[in-house]
Structure 1
Amino acid sequence: MFEIMGKMVHAQRKRIHPYKFNMWVAMGSIVMMFAGFTSAYLVMQSRSTWQSFELPEVFWFSTAVILVSSGTIQWAYRSFKAHNMGRYKMLITVTAVLGLVFLASQTTGFAELYERGLKLDWNVSVALLYIIAGAHMLHVLGGVVALLIIFIRAYRRKVRSYDPIPIEVVATYWHFVDVLWIYLYVFFLWIR
């Protein structure tokens, strides 16, 4: 009987936390959506009206910013697990600020495209770029909101429970949107 109970407890430990499971399902859905977007981009490229354009240089900066933010959130997660709340708070703050800097630099890049005359109605290639990158920016904004929630929780009260699951879920999502941007940026550079 004790052997059966031991196996049940061991099986429960191996189960994935519902928050993590939901995050992985959401990320799978997002991957499918962006795979569809980039596939549509490739298919539409064969049109006779397709026009190429240069991406703004600020996108290099935004790529560097999002990569650094991936490092800061990972460091914040490790700090939380080590119960170093001072470092955790500082790193969550830095990550949230870097997320906002990323969004601001993306907005600057699209403003530059607009100033060059590349408007949403200009061509299907530009429209798809705006749609794909805009959808990514919305996902990053969702990540920034999640970062702000754990930021507020970190400063609002004294931590009584060092449950790392919420921070791990936010960090996983943040890494995901980072990798997604790198994929999209390389795709746009390659496909030109």
Structure 2
Amino acid sequence: MPINKLTEEPKQVLSVNKWKFMVWLFIITIIMLFASQTSAYLVRRAEGNWVEFDIPQIFWFSTLVLLVSSVSMHFSLQAAKKNNQALLKTAVAITFIFGMTFLVMQYLGWQNLQQQGVFLKGNPSGSFFYVFTGLHMAHLLIGLGILVATFIMAFRMKINSKNTLLVEVCATAWHFLDLLWVYLFVFLLYFR
């Protein structure tokens, strides 16, 4: 028997961190959910009896707020990698505040829709709008929960340059939710 077969190094096993795997599974699930919903939207819209309505201006501003929250989330990850605890805490807090502001603005947008006579029950165009924005808001609440956990861990000094996993997971989920909203908003603008 050749000697090199006895002294072979064991093959490296590829593994993925369970939290990163879970966030990517979460993302894939949400993509599938919204792909099915946008497909249903297009099919139902093609059937007719579709009322067009103006999307309230506040949805444009809420989109901007969410995009800015992605910037602050990016700064929080960079701060964690550089052990800048003050910036980490501040950036996570700002991201949370912008996330909450987005939710409030979405609610105000719903109120504006109701003033236009667009309700959840009624024409499918309005129903789909509420379902899309409501589902996104529900997922954003999960993102806010992850932000709260990140904020608590940052204050307990559990996040540093050697332990950035929670901030990485949080940033991945948050950026995805922001991109998802941009997709939904553009979709709803284009296919009114």
Question: Considering the TM-score relative to the shorter chain, is it more than 0.5?
Answer: yes
- How many angstroms does 1:150 deviate by? 1.1
- How many angstroms does 1:160 deviate by? 7.2
RMSD value, Cα: 1.5
Unaligned 5+ segments in structure 1 are none
Query: Between Structure 1 and Structure 2, how many residues are aligned?
Result: 186
- 1:40 is matched with which residue? 40
The CA deviation string for residues 48-86 of structure 1, in whole angstroms up to 9 with x for no partner, is: 321111101011111111111111111101101110101
Confirm or deny: 8 A CA contact 2:67 2:178 kept in the other structure.
Answer: yes
- 2:182 is matched with which residue? 182
Cα distance change, pair 181–159 in 1 and its aligned pair in 2 (3 A): same
Local SS of the residue matching 2:52: coil
Matched residue type, 1:137: M
Local SS of the residue matching 1:56: coil
Q: Indicate the structure (1 or 2) with the bigger Cα radius of gyration.
A: 2
- 2:74 is matched with which residue? 74
Matched residue type, 1:124: P
- 2:9 is matched with which residue? 4
Return the alpha-carbon distance in structure 1 between the equivalents of residues 169 and 145 of structure 2: 13
Local SS of the residue matching 1:4: coil
Return the alpha-carbon distance in structure 1 between the equivalents of residues 115 and 184 of structure 2: 22
- 2:102 is matched with which residue? 102
- 2:157 is matched with which residue? 158
Matched residue type, 2:125: S
Return the alpha-carbon distance in structure 1 between the equivalents of residues 139 and 71 of structure 2: 19
Question: Whose helix proportion is higher, 1 or 2?
Answer: 1
Matched residue type, 1:142: I
Matched residue type, 1:150: T
Confirm or deny: 8 A CA contact 2:80 2:159 kept in the other structure.
Answer: no
Cα distance change, pair 27–182 in 1 and its aligned pair in 2 (3 A): same
Cα distance change, pair 85–49 in 1 and its aligned pair in 2 (3 A): same
Return the alpha-carbon distance in structure 2 between the equivalents of residues 44 and 86 of structure 1: 50
- How many angstroms does 1:3 deviate by? 5.1
- 1:62 is matched with which residue? 62
- 2:3 is matched with which residue? none
Runs of 4 or more off by more than 2 Å in structure 1? 157-162
Matched residue type, 1:55: I
- With 47-56 and 163-172 compared, the bigger mean Cα shift is at 47-56
